[in-house]
A and B are shown apart, each in its own frame.
Chain A
Amino acid sequence: MVMIVAQQVGVTLGRRSVLHDVDAAFAPGTLTAIVGPNGAGKSTLARALLALVPICGHVRIDGADVAAMPRAELARRVAYVPQGQTLHWPLSVERLVGLGRLPHLAPMSRISAADTAAIEGAMTRADVLDLRDRIATELSGGERARALFARALAVEAPALIVDEPLASLDPGHQIDVMDLLRAEAAAGGTVIAVLHDLTLAARYCDRLLLIDKGRVVADGEPAAVLTADRLRAVYGIEARVETGGAWPTITTLGRSGR
């Protein structure tokens, strides 16, 4: 189990400042959604947590600064599925999932029994066992998302960061993926997901981190974060937020007159 803490994180890409002074902590056993409008800096924050972009400030994993951590060490602690994950060669699903074991393989070593077990386990959890011999580039969108997800699970890292895992999935598969994320958190994982669907985020996540123009504007339980006033200010939308049920539901009514 790992604790990921961002302290005063700022990111400048090219000459454009994308994130400013972001403070956030991600605890084991919780599923946190990073939400916000397009271009708010959600993906950049996810990448900053993995030291994939140069940052000012600090990101610490269990107290250790990620900027000073060897890549392989970081790879064993945090698994990552980037936005719009590409696959450049037509690998079989099993081979694709096996890529998740790369951080654990010593140079010139062969794949071990533990690796095979991790690959089987990941394929079982993501429900892609029956696709194992299929070519991953020829799968449907939903199958592909599950296969890529299994690849991240095969790392067996205590933390998982997924960037827009629901993009191009139908409602059924969206729920499947959210269930998987929920299960990872329930098993003690530190799970962070960049999401656009606010109702799904509110329903499944323990916590929402709302970002706008590179700054954290709200951080807390979904019901506390998602208020009609805030949605108007951040997204520029008029929305009805119903908090009577088991989780808040958001119905977008239209653009607010700005």
Chain B
Amino acid sequence: MNRPIPRPLLLGVLATLAVIAAIASLLFGAVDLSLVRLFAAATGDGDRTASIILFDLRLPRALLALAVGAILGLAGAALQGYLRNPLAEPSVLGTSNAAALGAVAALYFGLAQVHPAVLPLLAIGCALLSLGLLFLLTGDAESPLTLILAGLAVATLAGAGISLALNLSPNPFAAMEIMTWLLGSLENRSFDHLWIALPCIVVGGALLLWNGRALDALTLGEDAAQALGTDLKRTRLRLLLGTAIGVGGAVSVAGAIGFVGLIVPHLIRPLTDRSPSAILLPSAIGGAALLTLADLGVRLIPTTSELKLGVVTAFLGVPVFLLHLMRERRLW
């Protein structure tokens, strides 16, 4: 067997990767800045153009990419551990769809034009509302299957709402605006967006990271986990709250970016001892690095109109499924 990489080394390498990705995302774009110009702008004695590019455009975007990527990676790792299913990802609980529905409602009813904060706040509100619905549907049942089915019901309902909004949209431009938003992007995001999303992401992330030991115990199934001292009800509460708040916050500013929560834990797991707790923090850092790199790719890949982030991550998700398929068929 391949031995796990020592944890400090793994965290160090991933963190370095994330920092490099973030710096690269400050340097490159429509206008490339040199390191010297970037440094001058950062310390306050750069030229005006460089300052505007750095502080108004690229810095909030890079920070958002790090934060959104981190919570998506972390939520994916935590949910895979909790549901004991390597194909689980943050959207299985339906909260990301619900958040997207909130955002779509803001666009549909024109509320998004009233104030930039309306759309993200409505998205977070919808995510929390969907969580209440999820609790109502699952009741006291502790099995992961109940949760998946309830999540599916919530996700389908929210998805139907989004389709309805597209169906009834008054003109093609409104439909286009909704579609564009749904593809997921970090384009033109400001520090306002960061200040809305970051508190949610921090709170959600803390709730998810708390579950490491309980997730390890769940490796042995629910009975054995309880016999090892795990309080399943509290674990589930923390996990659902963490996912709804964290992912809801992320979707509210970035749109529905899929597959990061699926891919990252898969990339990280073989480098660890494969216990659910060991992949939580590395998945957060890895997710931050991956989404920042994907966002950089969006800007650097030459296309006539800018690529959407959710499209790029969806393409990255395909190999993960193929790999699973090949392992299942014992081709690899």
Task: Give the contacting residue for A91; candidates B3, B223, B228, B274; CB below 8 A.
Answer: B274
Question: Are B275 and A85 in touch, CB under 8 angstroms?
Answer: no
* Bound CA span A95–B216, Å: 10
* Bound CA span A39–B229, Å: 27
Question: Are A85 and B228 in touch, CB under 8 angstroms?
Answer: no
CB neighbours (8 Å) of A186 from chain B are none
Question: Are B227 and A88 in touch, CB under 8 angstroms?
Answer: no
Question: Closest CB-CB distance, A192 to chain B, in whole Å?
Answer: 13
Residue on B nearest A157 in the bound complex, by CB = B227
CB neighbours (8 Å) of A74 from chain B are 227, 229
CB neighbours (8 Å) of B292 from chain A are none
User: Is A5 in the interface zone, CB < 8 Å from B?
Assistant: no
Task: Give the contacting residue for B224; candidates A72, A73, A80, A91; CB below 8 A.
Answer: A80
Question: Closest CB-CB distance, B163 to chain A, in whole Å?
Answer: 35
Question: Are B276 and A89 in touch, CB under 8 angstroms?
Answer: yes
Question: Closest CB-CB distance, A161 to chain B, in whole Å?
Answer: 8
Question: Are B1 and A135 in touch, CB under 8 angstroms?
Answer: yes
Question: Are A87 and B219 in touch, CB under 8 angstroms?
Answer: yes
Question: Closest CB-CB distance, A220 to chain B, in whole Å?
Answer: 28
Task: Give the contacting residue for A87; candidates B220, B227, B231; CB below 8 A.
Answer: B220
Interface string of B242-280 (1 = CB under 8 A from A): 000000000000000000000000000000011110000
User: Is B199 in the interface zone, CB < 8 Å from A?
Assistant: no
Question: Closest CB-CB distance, A166 to chain B, in whole Å?
Answer: 18
Interface string of B3-22 (1 = CB under 8 A from A): 10000000000000000000
Question: Are B221 and A82 in touch, CB under 8 angstroms?
Answer: yes
User: Is A103 in the interface zone, CB < 8 Å from B?
Assistant: yes
* Bound CA span A244–B276, Å: 54
User: Is A45 in the interface zone, CB < 8 Å from B?
Assistant: no
Question: Are B221 and A89 in touch, CB under 8 angstroms?
Answer: no
User: Is B217 in the interface zone, CB < 8 Å from A?
Assistant: yes
Most A CB contacts (10 A, CB to CB) among B84, B226, B228 go to B228
Question: Are B224 and A85 in touch, CB under 8 angstroms?
Answer: yes
User: Is A196 in the interface zone, CB < 8 Å from B?
Assistant: no
Q: A71-B229, A102-B217, A103-B229 are in contact. Are A95 and B223 (CB under 8 A)?
A: no
CB neighbours (8 Å) of B229 from chain A are 71-76, 102-103
User: Is B213 in the interface zone, CB < 8 Å from A?
Assistant: yes
* Bound CA span A133–B4, Å: 11
Majority-rule SS of A interface residues: mixed
* Bound CA span A95–B231, Å: 21
Question: Closest CB-CB distance, A86 to chain B, in whole Å?
Answer: 5
User: Is B218 in the interface zone, CB < 8 Å from A?
Assistant: yes
User: Is B230 in the interface zone, CB < 8 Å from A?
Assistant: yes
Question: Are B213 and A133 in touch, CB under 8 angstroms?
Answer: no
CB neighbours (8 Å) of A95 from chain B are 273-275
Question: Are A79 and B227 in touch, CB under 8 angstroms?
Answer: yes
Question: Are B217 and A99 in touch, CB under 8 angstroms?
Answer: yes
Question: Are B219 and A89 in touch, CB under 8 angstroms?
Answer: yes
CB neighbours (8 Å) of A72 from chain B are 229
CB neighbours (8 Å) of A92 from chain B are 1, 273-274
Majority-rule SS of B interface residues: loop
Q: A129-172: which have CB < 8 Å to B?
A: 133-135, 151, 155
Most A CB contacts (10 A, CB to CB) among B84, B213, B224, B276 go to B224
Question: Are B219 and A78 in touch, CB under 8 angstroms?
Answer: no
Question: Are A82 and B224 in touch, CB under 8 angstroms?
Answer: yes
CB neighbours (8 Å) of B228 from chain A are 75, 99-100, 102-103, 155
* Bound CA span A86–B222, Å: 10
Q: B52-77: which have CB < 8 Å to A?
A: none
User: Is A13 in the interface zone, CB < 8 Å from B?
Assistant: no
User: Is A52 in the interface zone, CB < 8 Å from B?
Assistant: yes
CB neighbours (8 Å) of A1 from chain B are none
Residue on A nearest B231 in the bound complex, by CB = A71
Question: Are A47 and B1 in touch, CB under 8 angstroms?
Answer: no
CB neighbours (8 Å) of A151 from chain B are 220
* Bound CA span A73–B228, Å: 9
Task: Give the contacting residue for A88; candidates B84, B223, B230; CB below 8 A.
Answer: B84
CB neighbours (8 Å) of B217 from chain A are 99, 102
* Bound CA span A155–B223, Å: 15
* Bound CA span A90–B219, Å: 9
Question: Closest CB-CB distance, A158 to chain B, in whole Å?
Answer: 14
CB neighbours (8 Å) of A85 from chain B are 220-221, 224
Residue on B nearest A90 in the bound complex, by CB = B274
Q: A71-B231, A95-B275 are in contact. Are A52 and B221 (CB under 8 A)?
A: no
Question: Closest CB-CB distance, A152 to chain B, in whole Å?
Answer: 9
Known: A91-B219, A102-B230, A151-B220; 19 extra A-B contacts, CB below 8 A, are A50-B226, A52-B226, A52-B227, A71-B226, A74-B227, A78-B227, A82-B227, A85-B221, A88-B218, A88-B220, A91-B273, A92-B273, A92-B274, A99-B217, A102-B213, A102-B228, A103-B229, A105-B213, A133-B1
Q: Which residues of A contact B (CB under 8 A)?
A: 47, 50, 52, 71-76, 78-82, 85-92, 95-96, 99-100, 102-103, 105, 107, 133-135, 151, 155
Q: Can you list 25 A-B contacts with CB-CB less than 8 angstroms, sorted by A residue number?
A: A71-B226, A74-B227, A75-B229, A78-B227, A80-B227, A82-B221, A82-B223, A85-B220, A85-B224, A86-B221, A87-B219, A87-B220, A88-B84, A88-B220, A88-B221, A89-B219, A89-B274, A89-B276, A92-B1, A95-B274, A100-B228, A102-B216, A102-B217, A103-B228, A134-B1
